[in-house]
Amino acid sequence: MQPLLQLEGIKKNFGGLQVLGGIDLALEAGQMRAIIGPNGCGKTTLFNVISGAFAPTSGKVMFRGEDITGQAPHRIARMGMARKFQVPGIYPTLTVAENLEAARLSFGWRRARGNVASDRTLRRIIERFGLHDALEHAAGTLAHGKKQWLEIAMLLSMHASLLLLDEPTAGMSVAETAATAELVAQIANERGVTVLVIEHDMSFVRALGCPLVVTLRGRILFEGSYQDAQANRDVREAYLGNA
C-alpha cells in the first residue's frame, strides 16, 4: 500500500545551520505517530516543511502519491492536509459556529448546503468536543482547553485526511490533556484520519497508544512503541532521562 505521507531524505539548513539532517518517514492512511524530542531538535521545522511553509534544502515530500515538495501551503491544505499550531488559530470575535463554518468554506467546501447545525458530520464533531452549548458564544470567551478543541474541530470540518498537530495540549490541565488524548485517538480510529502529532507531555503520548518517533539533532533516533522507547538507552539519555 502506498503511504499517504512519505518523507525522503528531508534536510533543512538555515545558512550554515543544519536543522534537519535527513528525515525518512512514512505514514499509511489511518495511522498515527507521535514525534518527541528535546527542544530545538527540528520538530516544528519538519512540520513547516511538510505543510509547505518551508521548502526543504534537499529531499522529497510525497502526499497522496504526489510530489508536493516546496508547493504553496494553501494548495497542500486543499489536498487534505490540515495543521494545528501551538497557539490556537481561532477567530476570537466570531462565534464557535462561525469559526467552524469559516474553516469549512475556506478549504473548498462551498458546495455544502446549509449551515453547521444542519451538517451531520459537523454536528457529530461539535458533540464529541463538547461545544454544542457554546455555538453562539464568541470563540475568544472559551476556556483555553476548549479553544484548542475548537481548532481541532475546525480542522476536521475541512474533511482533512492528514492532521498535523503541534503540541495540541499546550496550556491544558491534566484532565483536559487526558480528554484530548482520548478524542484524538477516537477520531483516528473511527474516521480513518491520519495523525502526526508533536508533543512534550509524555502522559498524553502514552495515552495515545501509538508508535513514537524520537528525534535528536535533526535526525530520527528511534521509531517504535512507547514501551520500547522507555527501554531504549539512547532514548532515555537523549530525552526521557535515566530515572
With a CB cutoff of 8 Å and minimum separation 6, the contacts of 116 are 97, 100, 101, 104, 122, 123, 126, 135
Q: Is 5 helix (H, G, I), strand (E, B) or coil?
A: strand
Give residue 96's pLDDT. 92
Residue whose C-alpha cell reads 539519555 in the numeric block = 237
pLDDT tens digits along 126-152: 887 788 889 899 999 998 888 888 988
Q: What is the pLDDT of residue 73?
A: 93
Spell out the residues 6+ positions from residue 111 whose beta carbon is closer than 8 angstroms to its own.
Answer: none
Which spans in the chain are helix H?
A: 43-51, 73-78, 96-106, 120-128, 144-157, 174-191, 202-208, 226-231, 233-235
pTM: 0.88
Cell of 204: 498524553
Nearest to 219 by CA among 45, 77, 22: 22
Percent of the chain's residues with pLDDT above 90: 47
CA distances from 11 to 38, 45, 154, 228 (A): 18, 10, 31, 27
Mean pLDDT split into 10-residue runs, the chain, 243 residues: 92 94 94 90 94 96 95 91 86 92 69 53 74 91 89 83 91 87 84 90 90 92 92 82 51
Rounded Cα–Cα distance for residues 233 and 238 (Å): 9
> For residue 215, what is the DSSP state?
E
Residues 148-176: pLDDT tens digits? 889 888 888 777 899 999 998 888 888 88
3-class secondary structure per residue, 73-92: HHHHHHCCEEEECCCCCCCC
Beta-strand relationship, 32-36 and 58-63? unpaired
CA dist 168 → 73, 116, 135, 145, 152 (Å) = 20, 24, 21, 9, 8
The predicted pLDDT at position 111 comes to: 44
Among 37, 58, 21, which residue's Cα sits nearest to residue 218? 21
Q: What is the DSSP letter of 70?
A: T
Grouping H, G, I as helix, E, B as strand and the rest as coil, residue 147 is: helix
